[in-house]
């Protein structure tokens, strides 16, 4: 049976298990109404764990648990990716790695286009799994997913990563053609956060 986490009260200290300043800023905005004392793993000089999980849930959980144990605070981690059904879910867990050490997403998008040339199935989805971990080892997960299609050529100048080649179902725009506020109202991360906020506040 699914168990709900304890409610998080104002002034609670929360560690975001990430060293990515952009992600810290985005999560700060998503949680701005709840008067939390938010720290990031980078700010606390916590080491980044190796992501050895075989699912988004496992990777989010191991990041959250490590940050929670190391800080003795509640920790929140996310693991997310872009998945192409025609490529058996790739790049999936390895979405960032496809872009290489220099985060060359243009190269990665071209690689996807090349691989999909002879494959009729262009359906795709973005997924985000949030894991909330407590120092006693308890964890809770929340998943958000947006279905759509891989489109070519890339369109739009907003967003980041694979946003220019992803067009959500029933929407004329790619993620990269949407303003931040528009994308953040329908994105995979926003949907996961809605579930997290509903359960915890």
147 carries a ligand binding annotation: no
161 carries a ligand binding annotation: yes
**Selected catalytic residue, list 11, 78, 79, 180:** 79
Contacts 24+ apart (CB under 8 A), 52-55: 53/79, 53/93, 54/93, 55/93
164 carries a ligand binding annotation: no
182 carries a ligand binding annotation: no
Q: Measured between alpha carbons, how far is residue 107 from residues 95, 96, 146, 166 in Å?
A: 12, 12, 23, 15
**92 Cβ contact partners less than 8 Å away, ≥ 6 residues apart:** 81, 82, 83
20 carries a ligand binding annotation: yes
Answer yes or no: 79 catalytic.
yes
22 carries a ligand binding annotation: yes
49 carries a ligand binding annotation: no
Alpha-carbon span 86 to 79, nearest angstrom: 22
Closest CA to 95 of 177, 19, 84, 86: 84
Alpha-carbon span 175 to 167, nearest angstrom: 6
155 carries a ligand binding annotation: no
78 carries a ligand binding annotation: no
Give the tokens for residue 44: 């606390």
Binding residues are 18-23, 50, 79-80, 160-163, 183, 188-189
The residues carrying an active-site annotation are 79
Binding residues for Mg(2+) are 50, 79
Binding residues for substrate are 18-23, 80, 160-163, 183, 188-189
């Amino acid at each position: 049976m699914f168990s709900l986490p304890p409610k998080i009260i104002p002034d609670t200290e929360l560690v975001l298990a990430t060293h990515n300043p952009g992600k810290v800023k985005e999560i700060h905005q998503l949680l701005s109404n709840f008067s939390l004392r938010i720290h990031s793993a980078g700010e606390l000089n916590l080491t980044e764990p190796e992501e050895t999980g075989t699912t988004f849930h496992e990777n989010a959980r191991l990041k959250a648990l490590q940050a929670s144990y190391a800080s003795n605070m509640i920790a929140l981690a996310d693991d997310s990716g872009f998945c192409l059904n025609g490529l058996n879910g790739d790049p999936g867990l390895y979405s960032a790695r496809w872009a290489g050490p220099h985060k060359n997403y243009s190269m990665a998008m071209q690689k996807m286009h090349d691989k999909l040339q002879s494959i009729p199935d262009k359906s795709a989805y973005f997924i985000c799994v949030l894991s909330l971990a407590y120092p006693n080892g308890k964890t809770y997960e929340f998943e958000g997913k947006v279905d759509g299609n891989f489109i070519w050529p890339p369109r739009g100048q907003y967003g980041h990563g694979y946003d220019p080649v992803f067009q959500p179902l029933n929407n004329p725009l790619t993620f990269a053609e949407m303003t931040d506020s528009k994308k953040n109202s329908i994105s995979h991360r926003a949907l996961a956060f809605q579930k997290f906020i509903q359960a915890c506040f």
